[in-house]
A and B are shown apart, each in its own frame.
Chain A
Amino acid sequence: DSGVTQTPKHLITATGQRVTLRCSPRSGDLSVYWYQQSLDQGLQFLIHYYNGEERAKGNILERFSAQQFPDLHSELNLSSLELGDSALYFCASSASNSGNTIYFGEGSWLTVV
């Protein structure tokens, strides 16, 4: 158990809908990262937050957004969902902004039908 908690574990939703994925980082970790894993694209970095502030943005679509709250948990919001958004979404956390070991949650499986 990495100590990173993600909910829900599985989610099935229809095209055009909006979903929110939630992540609780390891105790004391200030950095939260979101990654998307799909069969054809591999593991893609989406966004990084450090202590509530956005620090880096990767291949995140405009339909997606994220935030990190004062209690350090993070949410990834996915809207106007398309079939191609079906993927495994990982949250990861690390102790600092400088790139210590990043620990991953078990992921949230999103299926868009």
Chain B
Amino acid sequence: AQSVAQPEDQVNVAEGNPLTVKCTYSVSGNPYLFWYVQYPNRGLQFLLKYITGDNLVKGSYGFEAEFNKSQTSFHLKKPSALVSDSALYFCAVRDLYSGNTPLVFGKGTRLSVIA
């Protein structure tokens, strides 16, 4: 079975500081990993994904994520946070070769960037 853990319900960071939103996953095979962001009263917006290749994945709005197979982690990072980055962030995973299994989402981490 696939699962995702986002250990922090809330992350607070000052504007201009680097931010990290943590994610660990569990799959039986090779992972297919995503980050999505949800702004208030909006749908989930795709940020970035990892399938294979370079462990550092760059995505939208200056975000990047680092895949670490040994630690089964896929943490989301940004070098300099903006107030407008404040939102709910979801990590998701599926087994790359599992056929019809859907994306499984973590419970989300609320990021608050303080001016």
Contact = CB atoms under 8 A, between A and B. Distances in A.
Interface residues of B, number: 21
Of B44, B96, B107, chain A has the most CB atoms within 10 Å of the CB of: B44
Nearest to A2: B43
A44 to B, nearest CB: 8
A85 interface: no
Interface stretch (B21-29, B63-71, B77-85, B98-106): B98-106
Contact of B102 (A58, A90, A101): A58
A2 B49 CA distance: 16
A45 B107 contact: no
Interface in B25-72: 32, 34, 36, 42-46, 49
A56 B102 CA distance: 7
Interface in A28-51: 33, 35, 42-43, 45, 48, 50
A105 interface: yes
Contact of A101 (B34, B100, B105): B34
A99 interface: yes
B102 to A, nearest CB: 4
Contacts of A97: 100
A43 B108 contact: yes
Interface of B: 32, 34, 36, 42-46, 49, 90, 94, 96, 100-108
